[in-house]
Structure 1
Amino acid sequence: MLKKFASDALGLSDIGKIIDKRDFGKVDADDYIMHEDDEKIFFLIKSKTDEYCFTNLALIHVDGTSAVSKKRLVIRYDYYKNPIRNVSIETAGTIDLDCEIKFTIGEKAFSIDVDKNQIEQLKDLYKALVRIGYIIEENEIMLKKSEESLSIAANACKSGKIVEGDAAEVFKKINEYAFNWTKINRENYIKKDFSEIFKNYINN
């Protein structure tokens, strides 16, 4: 017990370890993975208080208050609803015990300390997060442009004369076209599953 208190006081409990793929099923975060929807863990950092679980769909943070408390708060950050920004990595100095990865997901800023001996694995996570952030940013731009295009087309229709025919039928066709346009572009530009990105960068 005294060792746990000392570890908290010195801040050593915050230094995380990257968990091997073979041990993913042993961590608390695994209980909150949506296995039924083909969600898979690709990278996991575990300290004495927290778990940072990166899946193909989301970051799941199992937030602990201290090394001696059993209370946990589980927070899920789906990538498509929480863009990743400001990704950086800090390598260890001569006397440091840890390296650090920082990023913002949605409105939440994370700073995660990791054992300096695992820096090479942490670099893989860094690259994956940078790539995911880039894809989400580009898709947001394209989705906005597609919405602007639809708005321009709608305004052009308003300014012109409606062709002969039943007004209700014309309205129905325009409405269906607008709905399908929006649906197709949302499917194209709102990416939810980043499996291929993690497979490309993470070497488990």
Structure 2
Amino acid sequence: MFKNIASDVLGLSDIGAIIQPKDFHKVESDDYILYEDGEKIYFLIKSKSDEYCFTNYALIHLDGASATSKKRLLKRYSYKSNPITDVTLETAGTVDLDIEIKFNIGNISYSIDVIKQDIEALKDLYKTLVKISSIQAENQHYLHYAQQSLDLASKSLKPYTNNALPDEQFKAINLYSFNWLKKSHHEFMRKDFSEVFDQFINK
């Protein structure tokens, strides 16, 4: 009992370590990477019960029920569908043996403890997540502007479309609107953040 309490106080309960790229193929997360689709591991934290794998497309979390259980729950959060927010880094105090990175991805909150010797590498992950968060927030504004511009264009055309449009004109307007929204979605709902990871992780 007292050993468990001491572990919690000192931050020893389930501290993760950063895995080096040369060892990525040895972790379980490697089995779930979409290599066929261009996905690549850039950063990986492994503790006794969990793996946190940051790829250019997503965060893959292998969630262990306990340190002694072999069961794993695979969770995948794509950056395209789950924006990153509220990224913070907590450094170690005098008696602490761990540091902590916190962030939200979609509506899920993460708080990951890492051995304090890995502080420099964790700073790089912090900067990466902050940059991705900034790009995602900016792109959401652009996507909103694209939708607004289409709405304004539609309203501007309304006086000229009170009478029934010929089928060909209706189809042309409908197709243009669809392609405009599709193009905006593709441009501003970003899937791949390789260049951000290369900028801060593989610098």
Q: How high is the TM-score relative to the length of structure 2? A: 0.92
Contact 1:29 1:60 in 2 (8 A): yes
RMSD of equivalent CA atoms:
1.9
Matched to 1:79, the amino acid is Y
* Deviation, structure 1 residue 8: 9.9
* Deviation, structure 1 residue 46: 0.2
Residue of structure 2 in register with 1:51 after alignment = 51
Which whole-Å CA distance do the structure 2 matches of 1:8 and 1:94 have between them? 18
Which runs of structure 2 are paired with 1:49-88 in the superposition (5 Å)?
49-88=49-88
Identity %: 56
* Deviation, structure 1 residue 162: 7.0
**Which runs of 5 or more residues in structure 1 are unaligned?**
1-5
Q: List, as ranges, runs of 4+ consecutive aligned residues in structure 1 with deviation greater than 3 Å.
A: 6-9
Residue of structure 2 in register with 1:130 after alignment = 130
Q: Deviation per CA, 1:29-70, whole angstroms, max 9, x where unpaired?
A: 111111111100000000001000000000000000111111
SS across alignment from 2:67: coil
Which whole-Å CA distance do the structure 2 matches of 1:8 and 1:197 have between them? 40
Contact 1:13 1:47 in 2 (8 A): no
CA change 1:45–1:8 in 2 (3 A) is farther
* Deviation, structure 1 residue 173: 1.1
**Which runs of 5 or more residues in structure 2 are unaligned?**
none
Which runs of structure 2 are paired with 1:53-202 in the superposition (5 Å)?
53-161=53-161, 167-202=166-201
Matched to 1:10, the amino acid is S
Q: Number of residues paired by the alignment?
A: 198
CA change 1:39–1:8 in 2 (3 A) is farther
Matched to 2:18, the amino acid is I
Q: How high is the TM-score relative to the length of structure 1? A: 0.92
* Deviation, structure 1 residue 166: 6.6
* Deviation, structure 1 residue 203: 3.7
Which whole-Å CA distance do the structure 2 matches of 1:166 and 1:203 have between them? 56
CA change 1:161–1:82 in 2 (3 A) is closer
